[in-house]
C-alpha cells in the first residue's frame, strides 16, 4: 500500500512539474500579458475615451482625436507597440465605460474617470496612474449673481448619471443641510444645452471639464462663472482590468516615463541628444543601458518611443490643456509644487 501511495505521490508530483513546465513554456511564447499579446496580434491598441470633451478627447477638423486622454492612449500605444499611431479610439459613455473595459471591448480606459475605492474594489478593474488631479465644481450664469455653492440651496443642478459627481453633490448638500434637485442627462451636448437654456441653475462636473466648456463658448464665456468651490477630490486616470499585472505595469510606467522625462528636461525635440548622456537615470530611461523594457515585456526603447512620438508630461499638458485656459496647479511636477512625482526607473 505504502509503495502504491509513494508511486502515486511521485506520479502526481511529476504531473505537477510537467504542468508547471507547460505553463512556463506557454508564458515564454508570449509577453506575459494577455492584453499586450492581443494588441500585438490585432496590430492595434483599443482605448476607451469620451470622444466629446475639449482638452481631453475630441476630434479636430481633420477627424484626429485630440486631448489629454487621447494622448495618454497614444503614449501607452507607443510603449506597447512602438508606434503611437496604432491606437484605435473607442467612444464610451459614463454608463457603458466600465462594461467596455470588463468585456474586453477596449484594452484600457482613459476617460476622465475618478479613482475611487468602490470602483477599484467592485468592478474587477484598477487604476494605473493619475493623469489629471481634479475636483467637482459648479458652473453658473453670471446673471444669477451666485458667488458660492453655499448660496445654491434649493437649486436645480444638471449632472450626468453614473458619475462620481452625483455622489459628490449629494455629500456636499447633506453636509451643509441644503437641498437640490438633480437634472440627470446622459448626453454631454444635451446637458450643456439644458444648462445654457436655463433648464437648470447650475451645471456640475469635474472643474476641468467646466473650464474647457466655458472656454469653448468664445465671446460668451464671460457670461458664465466657474464658482471657486471645489467640493471633492477627483483624481482622474487610466484604468485596466485586474489580473493582467504586466499590462498594468506597462500603463503605469508609461506615465512615470513621461514625468521623468519632464523632470530631466527631455522633450520630443531634444530626446536624441540625450542618447549619449552620462546620467545613469537617463540612460536607463532611454534604453541605452539596463533591461528596463525587457522587464516589462517590451523593447528597451519603449520610453524613448513614448517621448519621441508623444512627448513628456508637460508637453502633453501644454498641447492639450493650456489652450483651454486651465492653470496646471496640482498637476505640475513635484519640483514645481505639483503632485506628479516619478518613482525611479531602475
Residue the block writes with cell 504586466: 246
What is the predicted pLDDT for the residue at 224? Answer: 95
How far is 284 from 180, CA to CA, in rounded Å? 54
Element counts in the chain: helices (H) and strands (E): 13, 12
Residue the block writes with cell 492653470: 327
Instruction: Supply 329's cell numbers.
Output: 496647479
Within 8 A by CB and 6+ apart from 243, the residues are: 124
Query: What is each CA distance from 3 to 7, 9, 88, in whole angstroms?
Result: 6, 10, 61
What is the predicted pLDDT for the residue at 209? Answer: 87
Distance of CA 287 to the CA centre of its chain: 25
Instruction: Supply 1's cell numbers.
Output: 500500500
Q: Where does residue 43 rank: exposed (0-12), middle (13-18), buried (19+ CB within 10 A)?
A: exposed
Collapsing DSSP to helix, strand or coil, 35 comes out as helix
Estimate the crossing angle of helix 34-42 against helix 245-264, to 10 degrees: 80
Please, how many CA atoms are within 13 Å of residue 15, restricted to the half-sphere of its CB? 6
- For 93-112, b/e burial (b = at least 16 CB within 10 A) is bbeebbebbeeeebbbbbbb
Instruction: Supply 88's cell numbers.
Output: 484605435
Instruction: List, in order of start, the domains of the chain with CATH numbers.
Output: 34-134+235-331 (3.40.190.10), 136-232 (3.40.190.10)
How far is 302 from 251, CA to CA, in rounded Å? 12
How far is 137 from 229, CA to CA, in rounded Å? 6
Nearest alpha-carbon partner for 251 in 75, 123, 88: 75
Instruction: Supply 73's cell numbers.
Output: 492612449
> What would the 3-class secondary structure string for 75-124 be?
HHHHHHHCCHHHEEEEECCCCCHHHHHHCCCCCEEEEEEECCHHHHHHCC
Collapsing DSSP to helix, strand or coil, 310 comes out as coil
Element (H, E) at 274: none
pLDDT in tens for each of the 346 residues of the chain? 434 333 434 443 333 333 333 333 334 457 899 999 999 999 999 999 999 988 999 999 999 999 999 999 999 999 999 999 999 999 999 899 999 999 999 999 999 899 999 999 999 999 999 999 999 999 999 999 999 999 999 999 999 998 889 999 999 999 999 999 999 999 989 999 999 999 999 999 999 889 889 988 999 999 999 998 999 999 999 999 999 999 999 999 999 999 999 999 999 999 999 999 999 999 999 999 999 999 999 999 999 999 999 999 999 999 999 988 888 989 999 999 999 999 999 9
Amino acid at each position: 500500500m505504502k509503495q502504491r501511495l509513494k508511486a502515486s505521490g511521485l506520479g502526481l508530483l511529476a504531473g505537477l512539474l510537467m504542468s508547471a513546465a507547460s505553463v512556463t513554456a506557454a508564458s515564454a511564447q508570449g509577453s506575459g500579458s494577455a492584453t499586450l499579446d492581443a494588441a500585438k496580434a490585432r496590430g492595434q491598441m483599443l482605448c476607451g475615451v469620451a470622444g466629446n470633451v475639449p482638452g481631453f478627447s475630441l476630434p479636430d477638423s481633420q477627424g484626429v482625436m485630440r486631448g489629454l486622454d487621447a494622448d495618454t492612449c497614444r503614449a501607452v500605444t507607443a510603449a506597447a507597440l512602438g508606434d503611437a499611431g496604432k491606437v484605435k479610439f473607442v467612444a464610451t459613455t459614463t454608463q457603458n465605460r466600465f462594461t467596455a473595459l470588463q468585456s474586453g471591448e477596449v484594452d484600457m480606459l482613459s476617460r476622465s474617470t475618478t479613482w475611487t475605492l468602490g470602483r477599484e474594489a467592485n468592478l474587477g478593474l484598477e487604476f494605473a496612474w493619475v493623469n489629471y488631479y481634479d475636483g467637482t465644481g459648479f458652473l453658473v450664469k453670471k446673471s444669477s449673481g451666485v458667488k458660492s455653492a453655499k448660496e445654491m440651496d434649493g437649486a436645480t443642478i444638471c449632472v450626468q448619471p453614473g458619475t462620481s459627481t452625483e455622489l459628490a453633490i449629494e455629500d456636499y448638500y447633506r453636509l451643509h443641510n441644503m437641498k437640490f434637485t438633480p437634472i440627470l442627462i446622459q448626453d454631454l451636448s444635451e446637458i450643456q444645452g439644458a444648462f445654457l437654456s436655463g433648464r437648470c441653475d447650475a451645471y456640475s462636473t469635474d472643474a476641468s471639464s467646466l473650464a474647457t466648456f466655458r472656454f469653448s463658448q468664445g465671446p460668451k464665456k464671460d457670461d458664465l462663472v466657474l464658482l471657486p468651490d471645489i467640493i471633492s477630490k477627483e483624481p482622474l486616470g487610466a484604468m485596466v482590468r485586474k489580473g493582467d499585472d504586466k499590462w498594468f505595469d506597462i500603463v503605469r510606467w508609461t506615465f512615470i516615463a513621461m514625468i521623468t522625462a519632464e523632470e530631466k528636461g527631455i522633450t520630443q525635440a531634444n530626446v536624441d541628444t540625450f542618447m549619449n548622456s552620462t546620467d545613469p537615470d537617463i540612460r536607463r530611461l532611454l534604453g541605452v543601458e539596463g533591461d528596463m523594457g525587457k522587464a516589462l515585456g517590451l523593447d528597451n526603447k519603449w520610453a524613448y518611443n513614448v517621448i519621441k512620438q508623444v512627448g513628456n508630461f508637460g508637453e502633453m499638458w501644454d498641447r492639450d490643456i493650456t489652450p483651454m485656459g486651465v492653470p496646471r496647479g496640482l498637476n505640475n511636477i513635484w519640483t514645481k509644487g505639483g503632485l506628479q512625482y516619478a518613482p525611479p526607473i531602475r
